[in-house]
Chains A and B, each alone.
Chain A
């Protein structure tokens, strides 16, 4: 079946730099996307979401970009901090209402002091 995947398994950045985490999806019917952050030993934490009728959405220090033409999603973290070190997952589903999420394998973000 179709699934969400990620380009880079590990990303290492310097504290204070901006981070960009990428995600490719293959299901053209997907219309809702979520980024989660998962710290060691914890459950995934919701960061930001975006629907397919948008191409950009901003939160606090985070921006999600959606390019439907190439089926690509990215998460930008501004002024990366040590507390941002974690594994980041993108997840997708389609349709309205209650739906299962399909996750990729994740990208580990390491922030160097």
Chain B
């Protein structure tokens, strides 16, 4: 049973460019959440998708957008990259229903460096 997978593992971009990160949830999960983790800090919630719609959003600008596909996989897009967007981007998935919807399982992350 595969866990949460993310691609690519590492990425280098320059300021002003756009980037797309991808996530496949754990088998049996339908909800995907994205987090940004700056060096030495805890993850910060960006947004959450289920049923192919953005359901919750953290305090991030509109440059951050996403998408969820019918197979529950998800993309995170960041436009007009800034140096401060350099971080580890984490995807977490959680189950469809029942008692443990809150438990989120994380992927390995995509390390983004903006130069």
Contact = CB atoms under 8 A, between A and B. Distances in A.
Interface stretch (A54-62, A67-75, A78-86, A92-100): A92-100
A98 B56 contact: yes
A68 to B, nearest CB: 17
A103 B33 CA distance: 14
B65 interface: no
Interface residues of B, number: 28
Contacts of A49: 102-103
A98 B103 contact: no
Contacts, number: 65
A64 interface: no
Interface string B87-99: 0001010100000
A48 B4 CA distance: 18
A106 B40 CA distance: 8
Contact of A43 (B55, B56, B94, B107): B107
B45 A100 contact: yes
Q: Which of B31, B102, B109 has the most CB of A within 10 A?
A: B102
Contacts of A34: 102-104
A27 B64 CA distance: 27
Contact of A44 (B50, B56, B58, B106): B106
A93 B92 CA distance: 15
A105 interface: yes
Given A43-B90, A46-B105, A97-B101, A89 B55 contact: no
A45 B31 CA distance: 17
Nearest to B94: A98
A91 B31 CA distance: 18
A105 B55 CA distance: 25
Interface of B: 4, 6, 31, 33, 35, 40-45, 48, 50, 55-56, 58, 90, 92, 94, 101-109
